[in-house]
Structure 1
Amino acid sequence: MGTKRRRGGDGGMEENTMAILDTSCFSKSTQHVADDRLAFLEAVRSGFLVPENAAAPTNEMYKAIFQILKDENSLDLIMSSYQLLLELDKRFPRVYFSVAEKSESSSSLLHDELVVVEEAWSPYSLGTDVSSSAKQQDHNKTSGSFDATAFHLLIEDLAKVPDDVTTEETGLKRLRNMLLFQYLVNVLEGDFIPRNKSFKENSKWTTLRDSLLSMILVSRKINFKGLIKECLSTLCELSQFSIDSSHDVRPPESGSTEVTERCHAALAIALPEVVKRTCDSVQKLLSMIIELDSSKMAADMDGLTTRADGTRTPATEIILEELTYDKDILFPFFQALDKPKLKLDMIVQYFQKYIPKTSVRTRRSNGCEIDSTFGGMLKCFSDGNSTKSIIKKITNEAAQLLLAHAFQAYILLPSQQSTESNKGIVDNSLPEICNNMVSAFACLKKTDSHTGILPFGKEALLTAAIMLSKS
């Protein structure tokens, strides 16, 4: 792994650009200050994104942009600062792969080298895990840094959907916090993905252990199990919020100026899409945590970890436990979850908790052989005794909905007929999966004749029948 010092903008550029801001007025909210901040954002864009060979902005500039996103109450400034930060991170990544140059004297294949930019600005402040003093809190307030506690609190805040979001102030605050969360997850992803790829190529655990995500999760300032639960709550609440017409942002009926009405109209247009993308970011965060757990388990098996790395319950187990004991979030969670591989894997593991296990199998055993794949799970529903045992524990309706969601996720997987691309989840061909779906629903109907096939189940069966007719 290589390290590199980021070249900041020259002193004159920083001084001229920062001079646009009156940093002592961040607590004020006047039109003049807003105009100055918009001019500052545009100056950064012009000075560091437009030129082809421009250096990265200095840390002070990054801090100022992030502080605008974190503290502003202007829709224009919130959106502009958010978009600028994303573009800067794309242009000047903190962690990336450099193309390895092949030596003339060597014929061996070289991997791209992982480069971590030293002293690059980050919105996170994770250098120490001691209790925050007043001085540290003041520093975080001015620098715009987020520690593990602040990140956790932000997720908690997102899960608390207010009853009334019709006011401009409330709507802007929620939009700002959602964009802030999206950006923070984007930073985690940009840091984690290349590190995890590097770990899989060279098995260097320290590379992944030093990732921002890993440092947040091992922090003593947060409760890991609580963080996962808050992610589930946030995903379910925001998903419901996005489809609930009662949480509609509308302009006041009276006493509003033209400017206020335009602001409400902009919020009404922006909020649904921002909510959707925030749900995507929550899923992205959960996926990265699960992937980190998987890599850590691989490092443990290879003896690469130490006692200092600690132990924790894998996120998947926490999610399954929460879904098991809180039935109210079972359907909202899988309805909101739109990452096919994650959804299918979760449903298969959820069903495994209820598939009857036989301690000794004989030729006359009627039980279902445990199979950790989707195809194996479906085969368990072709057995009457196994099906009866499952629906006794989770109800026929729940079984139908979960099977339909799993089938939907399966057909959305890329190259779903390839066993290599989905190893451990899918091991059957598409026609066989479709036949097993039809058999499973037939067995459910036969086992519980009083419960018909639900509309969602009928859609899944129709899809399976159409695919079979085309195969």
Structure 2
Amino acid sequence: MGTKRRRGGDGGMEENTMAILDTSCFSKSAEHLADDRLSFLEAVRSGSLVTDNASAPTNKMYKATFQILKDEKSLDLIMSSYQLLLELDKRFPRVYMSETEKSESSSPSSNLHHELVVVEEAWSPFSFGVDVISSEKQNHGKINESVDVTEFNLLIEDLSKVPDEANTSEPFRNMLLFQYLVNVLEGDFRPRNLAFLESADWIALKESLLNTILVSRKITYKGLVKDCLSSMCVLSQFSTDCSLDMKPAENGSAELAEKWRHTALALALPEVVKCTHAAVQKLLLMIIELDSSKATADLDGLTTRADGTRTPATEIILDELTYDKNILFPFFQALDKPKLKLDMIVEYLKKYMPKTSVRTRRSNGSTNDSTFGGILNSFSNGNSAKGIMKKISSEVAQLLLAQAFQAYIALPCEHSTESKEENSLQNICNDMISAFTCLKKADKHTGILPFAKEALVTAAFLLSRNS
């Protein structure tokens, strides 16, 4: 692994700042306790973020800030602690890539190289050690200052329950907590993965927080991926209809503060749901990237038997989409990464493409079944389209082709210059129109669905513009 550096701390700052919380006592009202916590958060912000040469908070201060986010019910405290933690992580990263100069013998064009830096003993919201967890349970009855693998998995499961409990502060807090944890995972994973891609440093990537979670025996890896898929679809659907009546029941005795709390929840909910959905998608993308890097490490002989094997996340997702058609449309609607969406749809449809029984010498090595153009060619053939329709419905076929086309045109404008003529933008548009013509003939009862018509109109427009 790269160089490890120890983050320094300020004992005097810690003592003075923590004293704000220590003065809290059970005789104080909830309002005063909340004021103390807000004062503590402001003291941490002033001590670590205001000046340019400020030092990072100590682990005790980090833990106290995180515990406020994890356990509080006040919207002010939840938002304040969440924002503070994000700003602290941006200012004081735990893992990062630094640029160092190479020796004089190196060529001038490459006199700088990246080095992975891991801050030793930096605080983390995750706790994976068995001994640490057992000690905390013994001293506190439950884990308050960190999140273990099981809790993280349960947090993902709870995201699918957000629509049923959206008028309370608990799901609001859990969504922000999840967003922060994913932000921590990303900050730890990105530089480690970059170190692996640049210098084949598999050990650094293996020790990432994300990989530690995925290889844990306390959870089911496939279950975690499925939970992410389910929560992603639920949040995507819910984000389009967050204008719920969040006001308290008309009982004539609601306090002004309670009304304000519900109003604040209603105003903040749409954006929080949208960002949480993006965080779930980000987590899935990181898992997929980790799968890809691990596959590369396997091919290069960098892994050992102890690293184990696991089914790639994309295969788990495709299997779920195959057996549960109800989440097919929500998932691809929710997925806003064009390259990943296009690749997954092509892989999904490949399973239903007719297999050629005879391969000539000319066809060997030149088949385009694995491209979007190849998929469209199969649908553009009347007999082939009928064969596909026996395996999947017309609605599913139209959905996938329309979503794939949407993803295709959202990719960088390289279509017109591609070496493979069948994948040029003009040919893709022509094949889209031809494919839907065959689909309409194969299933005259269904016709062309509205979202598919939008894709066809776009294809016709692009053809007319380039003609």
Cα distance in 1, alignment partners of residues 28 and 355 from structure 2: 65
**Displacement after TM superposition at 1:47 (Å):** 1.0
**Secondary structure in 2 matching 1:106:** coil
- Cα pair distance change 1:431/1:29, threshold 3 Å: farther
1:76-131 deviation per Cα after TM superposition (whole angstroms, max 9, x unaligned): 00001001111111111111111122433432624211111111111111234x89
Aligned partner letter, 2:464:
S
- Cα pair distance change 1:234/1:460, threshold 3 Å: same
* Structure 1 residue corresponding to 2:334, chosen from 327, 333, 336: 336
Aligned match of 1:180 = 177
The 8 Å contact of residues 353 and 378 in structure 2, kept in 1 or not, is answered as yes
Cα distance in 1, alignment partners of residues 341 and 272 from structure 2: 22
- Cα pair distance change 1:441/1:324, threshold 3 Å: same
**Displacement after TM superposition at 1:370 (Å):** 5.4
Aligned match of 1:10 = 10
**Secondary structure in 2 matching 1:19:** helix
Aligned partner letter, 1:35:
D
Aligned match of 1:384 = 382
* Structure 1 residue corresponding to 2:306, chosen from 305, 308, 327: 308
The 8 Å contact of residues 2 and 115 in structure 2, kept in 1 or not, is answered as yes
**Displacement after TM superposition at 1:452 (Å):** 1.0
* Structure 2 residue corresponding to 1:279, chosen from 277, 280, 288: 277
The 8 Å contact of residues 102 and 113 in structure 2, kept in 1 or not, is answered as no
**Displacement after TM superposition at 1:247 (Å):** 4.5
Please list every run of 5 or more consecutive structure 1 residues that lacks an aligned counterpart in the other structure: none
Calculate the TM-score normalised by the size of structure 2: 0.92
The 8 Å contact of residues 369 and 380 in structure 1, kept in 2 or not, is answered as no
Cα distance in 2, alignment partners of residues 282 and 393 from structure 1: 31
Alignment partner of 1:232 is 2:224: no
Cα distance in 1, alignment partners of residues 346 and 29 from structure 2: 52
Aligned match of 2:93 = 93
* Structure 1 residue corresponding to 2:257, chosen from 256, 259, 262: 259
Cα distance in 1, alignment partners of residues 165 and 182 from structure 2: 27
The 8 Å contact of residues 416 and 425 in structure 2, kept in 1 or not, is answered as no
The 8 Å contact of residues 165 and 171 in structure 2, kept in 1 or not, is answered as no
The 8 Å contact of residues 6 and 56 in structure 1, kept in 2 or not, is answered as no
- Cα pair distance change 1:339/1:255, threshold 3 Å: farther
Aligned partner letter, 1:333:
F
Aligned partner letter, 2:148:
D
Aligned match of 1:445 = 440
**Secondary structure in 1 matching 2:43:** helix
The 8 Å contact of residues 380 and 387 in structure 1, kept in 2 or not, is answered as yes
The 8 Å contact of residues 127 and 133 in structure 2, kept in 1 or not, is answered as no
Alignment partner of 1:431 is 2:426: yes
Cα distance in 2, alignment partners of residues 461 and 193 from structure 1: 38
1:386-411 deviation per Cα after TM superposition (whole angstroms, max 9, x unaligned): 21122221101111111111111122
**Displacement after TM superposition at 1:264 (Å):** 1.2
Aligned partner letter, 1:76:
D
**Secondary structure in 1 matching 2:118:** strand
Cα distance in 1, alignment partners of residues 217 and 324 from structure 2: 27
The 8 Å contact of residues 179 and 278 in structure 1, kept in 2 or not, is answered as yes
**Displacement after TM superposition at 1:40 (Å):** 0.7
Cα distance in 1, alignment partners of residues 222 and 41 from structure 2: 39
**Displacement after TM superposition at 1:451 (Å):** 1.9
- Cα pair distance change 1:427/1:32, threshold 3 Å: farther
The 8 Å contact of residues 7 and 121 in structure 2, kept in 1 or not, is answered as no
Cα distance in 1, alignment partners of residues 2 and 260 from structure 2: 50
1:385-440 deviation per Cα after TM superposition (whole angstroms, max 9, x unaligned): 221122221101111111111111122223453889xx99x982222222221111
| Structure 2 counterparts to residues 129-208 of structure 1, below 5 A | 133=134, 135-136=136-137, 138=139, 141=142, 144-161=145-162, 163=164, 165-166=166-167, 171-208=168-205
**Displacement after TM superposition at 1:161 (Å):** 3.6
**Displacement after TM superposition at 1:182 (Å):** 0.5
Cα distance in 2, alignment partners of residues 373 and 197 from structure 1: 28
Identity within the alignment, %: 72
Please list every run of 5 or more consecutive structure 2 residues that lacks an aligned counterpart in the other structure: none
- Cα pair distance change 1:82/1:140, threshold 3 Å: farther
Aligned partner letter, 2:433:
V
Cα distance in 2, alignment partners of residues 27 and 355 from structure 1: 71
Cα distance in 1, alignment partners of residues 173 and 256 from structure 2: 22
Aligned match of 2:128 = 126
**Displacement after TM superposition at 1:68 (Å):** 0.3
Cα distance in 2, alignment partners of residues 243 and 300 from structure 1: 42
| Structure 2 counterparts to residues 36-55 of structure 1, below 5 A | 36-55=36-55
- Cα pair distance change 1:250/1:243, threshold 3 Å: farther
Aligned match of 1:454 = 449
**Displacement after TM superposition at 1:163 (Å):** 3.4
Aligned match of 1:212 = 209
Cα distance in 2, alignment partners of residues 242 and 250 from structure 1: 18
RMSD: 2.8
- Cα pair distance change 1:149/1:138, threshold 3 Å: farther
Cα distance in 1, alignment partners of residues 329 and 156 from structure 2: 21
Number of residue equivalences: 461
The 8 Å contact of residues 378 and 384 in structure 2, kept in 1 or not, is answered as yes
- Cα pair distance change 1:102/1:362, threshold 3 Å: closer
The 8 Å contact of residues 7 and 119 in structure 2, kept in 1 or not, is answered as no
- Cα pair distance change 1:439/1:398, threshold 3 Å: same
The 8 Å contact of residues 402 and 451 in structure 2, kept in 1 or not, is answered as yes
- Cα pair distance change 1:162/1:460, threshold 3 Å: closer
**Displacement after TM superposition at 1:162 (Å):** 5.3
Residue range with higher mean Cα deviation, 6-15 or 40-49: 6-15
- Cα pair distance change 1:204/1:275, threshold 3 Å: same
Aligned match of 2:62 = 62
Aligned match of 1:402 = 400
Cα distance in 2, alignment partners of residues 68 and 28 from structure 1: 17
Residue range with higher mean Cα deviation, 268-277 or 387-396: 387-396
1:181-232 deviation per Cα after TM superposition (whole angstroms, max 9, x unaligned): 0000011011111111110111121111010000000000000011111111
Cα distance in 2, alignment partners of residues 40 and 134 from structure 1: 27
Aligned partner letter, 1:39:
S
**Displacement after TM superposition at 1:176 (Å):** 0.2
